[in-house]
């Protein structure tokens, strides 16, 4: 009788649990983004009128990263439009800044209002403004911000013009970036880019009548990761009509007046340079009159900005042989003199400065740079919470490192940083270097506690390169004790990407031992000397393998469809070599890599160029593959879902059954060099890098 009652009780409990307890996220996905944790971008402004020595002002608040700003021309009107009741809080004169921010784990557009009269003067160091009022400009109708990338905001009357990636493109490897116009009083948005066409870097003309964009047009994205193959189109801001190609080969347009556009392109002599296009916009069909090159060879100049108030001043970012840093300069183009005036090199010589913009009165210039050590904002996060498209299924994080993997109990994360393997508790505590060597890829044994597999040697190397799989065994009781290292492969023919079987007996890995990279399986404890067999075979590359938690499948990336041109797709094969099938193909020439199984073994997370590039790469720090975004897919190839929307290189994802609370985790490792990220490598100048980069010098 007692047993019966107990069962009944348990039955009720189960019933309640299954049907009434709200489902909670059950897993977490963690991925890497090249350099992003070090950016610390804020928007700054400095006076450029010769009479004033006003210090540099930090305009944004040091939360997350803030960039690609824009000064609206009538801040008071904008404030009364957004929140009439708060109008009286600020004292005139009111200033406002519209900008892109990644606070809250997703990209969105904010406006900050502040009183300029309160900014202190007569001080030499950078001043932080007390931000008085802050509003998101694009609240979603249901209150849940959509997950997408927003970029390059500007204002035309009561309309916000910007780039968004919220609508999928129609084909693989086609960018989702398109230009939209949102009517601020109603929140109603209109797409200005034609269906199926990607547009970047919109700029509204001085009258507001026209908008110029950089567009890859019908051609789409063809895999370029340095200069995008874009042309400049203009169309009417009001309804996107009269869309016309005005300049072939150009990007980042800006308007001096309704018939003058400045833009950048990489010139045939290799130097990025700023050009001026004279156009006619009188009739309904705009046309090109002439193009002049403004900046000469000998240095790079790009991302121009101009103000209608002082159209004789062009602001640009430059890379010159005399500095390793990207700086903002003004070009005075009056009388064809082209005098150059340094803006940021005198204020902060050792920082990269990006994407200048003028205040409406042309007395100040804004830009973004890393806020530096005096920052009033976030330090780097070990785990930065990213808004999940499916919060009921998984939380999503960016880790400050690469190749993350979780211990089976989810308590610890292994990852690679500066080629060493680190282990840290999932709450960010107790970070430790467990292997200092040239390592890449990590995976934990499912059965033996504290055993991590990695590959030792250079990554991105040929079949014959010396790379071997090792196991790292952490000491169980003494975390200060040296881990035990065991080499598992012999002969060093590019043995990499180890992934253990769930029964703890085997490790699958890729090896170049036959002259091609194929998959092999070996004994997990003793290594290949105790047993090895070849799982895949063929004259191509099979790599980045991952064993499913239920033991049934091994997922891997392969270029077997087209070994000549490096197009990688994701495949599955049973550990006994049967059942080979393709899951995701990213499009011809495309790369789809680093598959990792979800805890249910029915889905995969991976990185891919499936969504193309989302902004002009030159407007960002360096990313080798700015098209890399994180996706999930069912193992039958259905339901491809995009998880990240940004213009960075996102890669090496992992997926754990542990649910991590969706909030940021502080970096406790010392020695993280905030602000230490690279400018685009392909802008390198001859005298700085000639020993390393002979082939790529402009």
Ligand X SMILES: *[C@@H]1O[C@H](CO)[C@@H](O)[C@H](O)[C@H]1NC(C)=O
Nearer to ligand X, 502 or 589 (CB): 589
| Residue 567: CB minimum distance to ligand X, A | 5
Contacts with ligand X, residue ranges (CB under 6 A): 223, 552, 562, 565, 567, 574, 576, 578, 588-589
Give me the numbers of helices (H) and strands (E) for the chain, helices first please.
Answer: 3, 50
User: What's the rounded Cα separation, in Å, for the pair 614 and 650?
Assistant: 12
Nearer to ligand X, 102 or 227 (CB): 227
User: What's the rounded Cα separation, in Å, for the pair 593 and 608?
Assistant: 6
| Residue 178: CB minimum distance to ligand X, A | 24
| Residue 548: CB minimum distance to ligand X, A | 10
Nearer to ligand X, 312 or 561 (CB): 561
Nearer to ligand X, 187 or 538 (CB): 538
Among left, alpha and beta (phi > 0; psi -120 to 50; other), residue 403 is left
| Residue 505: CB minimum distance to ligand X, A | 15
User: What's the rounded Cα separation, in Å, for the pair 199 and 237?
Assistant: 14
* Cβ atoms of 272 and 300 closer than 8 Å: yes
Enumerate the β-bridge partners of residue 507: 500, 522
| Residue 222: CB minimum distance to ligand X, A | 8
- Closest residue by Cα to residue 177 from 609, 606, 624, 611: 611
Nearer to ligand X, 290 or 576 (CB): 576
User: What's the rounded Cα separation, in Å, for the pair 418 and 557?
Assistant: 24
Nearer to ligand X, 126 or 562 (CB): 562
Q: Which residues of 151-164 are buried (b: 16+ CB within 10 A; e: fewer)?
A: bbbbbbeebbbbbb
- The 3-state secondary structure of 91-127 reads CCCEEEEEEEECHHHCCEEEEEEEEHHHCCCCCCCCE
| Residue 481: CB minimum distance to ligand X, A | 39
Nearer to ligand X, 479 or 588 (CB): 588
Residue nearest ligand X, CB atom distance: 589
| Residue 578: CB minimum distance to ligand X, A | 5
Nearer to ligand X, 119 or 562 (CB): 562
| Residue 266: CB minimum distance to ligand X, A | 20
Nearer to ligand X, 567 or 620 (CB): 567
| Residue 574: CB minimum distance to ligand X, A | 4
Q: Which residues of 595-619 are buried (b: 16+ CB within 10 A; e: fewer)?
A: bbbbbebebbbbbbbbbbbbbbbbb
Two tokens, residue 251: 């990007």
Neighbouring C-beta atoms of residue 17, cutoff 10 Å: 9
């Amino acid at each position: 009788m007692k047993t019966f009652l107990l069962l009944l009780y348990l039955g009720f409990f189960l019933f309640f649990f299954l049907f009434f307890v709200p489902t909670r996220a059950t897993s977490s996905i963690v991925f890497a983004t090249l350099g992003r944790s070090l950016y610390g971008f804020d928007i700054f402004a400095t006076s450029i009128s010769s009479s004033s020595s006003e210090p540099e002002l930090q305009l944004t608040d040091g939360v997350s990263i803030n960039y690609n700003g824009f000064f609206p021309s009538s801040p008071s009107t904008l404030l009364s439009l957004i929140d009439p009741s708060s109008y009286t809080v600020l004292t005139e004169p009111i200033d406002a800044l519209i900008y892109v921010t990644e606070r809250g784990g997703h990209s969105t557009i904010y406006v900050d209002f502040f009183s300029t009269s309160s900014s202190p003067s007569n001080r030499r160091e950078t001043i932080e403004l007390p931000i008085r009022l802050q509003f998101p400009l694009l609240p979603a109708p249901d209150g849940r911000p959509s997950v997408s990338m927003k970029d390059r905001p500007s204002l035309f009357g009561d309309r916000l013009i910007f780039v968004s990636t919220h609508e999928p493109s129609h084909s693989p490897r086609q960018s989702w970036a398109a230009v939209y116009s949102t009517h601020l009083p109603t929140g109603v948005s209109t797409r200005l880019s034609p269906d199926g066409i990607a547009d970047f870097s919109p700029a509204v003309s001085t009258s507001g009548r026209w908008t110029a964009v950089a567009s890859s047009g019908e051609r789409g994205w063809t895999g370029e990761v340095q200069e995008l193959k874009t042309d400049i189109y203009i169309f009417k801001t009001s309804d996107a009509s009269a869309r016309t190609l005005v300049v072939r080969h150009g990007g980042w347009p800006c308007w001096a007046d309704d018939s003058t556009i400045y833009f950048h392109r990489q010139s045939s002599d290799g130097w990025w340079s700023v050009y001026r296009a004279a156009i006619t916009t009188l009739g309904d069909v705009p046309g090109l009159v002439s193009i002049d090159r403004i900046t000469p060879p000998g240095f790079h100049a790009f991302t121009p900005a101009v103000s209608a108030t002082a159209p004789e001043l062009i602001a640009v970012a430059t890379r010159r042989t005399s500095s390793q840093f990207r700086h903002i300069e003004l070009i005075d183009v009056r009388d064809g003199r082209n005098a150059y005036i340094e803006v940021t090199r005198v204020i902060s010589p050792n920082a990269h400065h990006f994407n200048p913009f003028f205040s409406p009165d042309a007395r100040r210039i804004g830009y973004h740079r890393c806020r530096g050590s005096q920052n009033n904002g976030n330090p780097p996060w070990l785990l930065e919470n990213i808004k999940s498209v499916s919060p009921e299924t998984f939380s999503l994080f960016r880790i400050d490192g690469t190749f993350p993997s979780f211990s089976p109990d989810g308590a610890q994360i292994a990852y690679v940083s500066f080629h060493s393997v680190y282990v840290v508790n999932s709450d960010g505590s107790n970070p430790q270097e467990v292997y200092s060597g040239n390592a890449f890829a990590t995976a934990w044994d499912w059965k033996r506690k504290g055993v991590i597999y990695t590959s030792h040697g250079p990554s991105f190397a040929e079949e014959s390169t010396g790379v071997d799989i090792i196991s790292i065994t952490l000491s169980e009781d003494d975390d200060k004790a040296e881990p035990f290292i065991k080499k598992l492969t012999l002969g060093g023919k590019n043995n990499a990407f180890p992934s253990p079987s769930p029964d703890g007996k085997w490790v699958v890995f890729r090896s170049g031992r036959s002259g091609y990279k194929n998959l092999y399986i070996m004994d997990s404890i003793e290594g290949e000397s105790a047993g090895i067999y070849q799982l895949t075979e063929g004259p191509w590359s099979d790599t980045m393998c991952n064993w499913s938690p239920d033991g049934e499948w091994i997922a891997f990336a392969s270029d077997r469809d087209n070994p000549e041109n490096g197009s990688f797709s994701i495949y599955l094969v049973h550990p006994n070599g049967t059942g080979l099938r393709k899951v995701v193909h990213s499009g011809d020439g495309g790369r789809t890599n680093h598959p990792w199984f979800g805890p249910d073994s029915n889905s995969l997370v991976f990185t891919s160029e499936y969504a193309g590039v989302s902004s002009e790469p030159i407007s960002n720090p360096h990313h080798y593959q700015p098209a890399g975004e994180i996706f999930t897919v069912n193992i039958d190839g259905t339901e491809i879902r995009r998880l990240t929307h940004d213009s960075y290189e996102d890669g090496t994802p992992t997926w754990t059954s542990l649910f991590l609370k969706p909030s940021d985790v502080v970096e406790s490792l010392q020695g993280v060099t905030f602000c230490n990220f690279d400018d685009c490598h392909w802008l390198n100048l001859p005298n700085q890098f000639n020993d390393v980069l002979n082939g790529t010098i402009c």
